[in-house]
Amino acid sequence: MRAALASAPPERARARARHGPPPDRPAAPAPGVAAADPAARGRRRLCCRACGAVIARPEDAIAVGGAHSHHVFNPAGIVFHIGCFRDAPGVRAVGPRTGRFTWFRGYDWVVTACGTCARHLGWMYHAIADTAPATFQALVLDRLVETGGDDGGDDGDDAGG
Ligand SMILES: [Zn+2]
């Protein structure tokens, strides 16, 4: 008789290790992500009230002659509430440069209009001498409307006119 090789595999109680601990990585809170996101809040823009074209950015507001906004009147007696900005990419200069009746001593001015609908929006000032800033924009504030947060360069292509 041959002794049969007892090849019965040993009963191994296999512990099923399927429920291992999940590979959790510690979620470190990023210090920059806060409720107040300055990048999102800085997207406000000043737009032409007549046509909606983007004219300037509120963060470009500057003080000239000690203040940002001024109440001024022209020789015809029309009062304007203007605000000073270092730049206003949405306007274009129209007409000649002159220093007559200037509201800012030491500056010449040129009338500016909306680059889209040509409505008069303000004046661009040029320093005559070595005055800072060398140039700035004065915009009639009630001819602008401030818009918030929406980004995406929509060219408001309204056939309105
Ligand atoms: Zn316009």
Cα–Cα distance for residue pair 62/137, rounded to 1 Å? 9
Mean pLDDT in the chain?
80
Phi first, then psi, for residue 49 (nearest 5°) are -70, -25
Q: Measured in angstroms, how far is the CA atom of residue 51 from the centroid of ligand 1?
A: 4
Compute, in angstroms, the gap from residue 139 CA to the centroid of ligand 1: 13
Q: Ligand 1 centre and the CA of 39: distance in Å?
A: 26
pLDDT in tens, 110-149: 999 999 999 999 999 999 988 889 999 999 999 999 998 6
**Coil, helix or strand for 44?**
coil
Q: Dump pLDDT digits (tens) for 23-45.
A: 555 544 444 444 444 554 568 99
The Å distance, Cα 87 to ligand 1 centre, comes to 16
**How far is the centre of ligand 1, averaged over its atoms, from the C-alpha of 135 (Å)?**
22
Q: Say which CATH class 2-149 falls into.
A: mainly beta
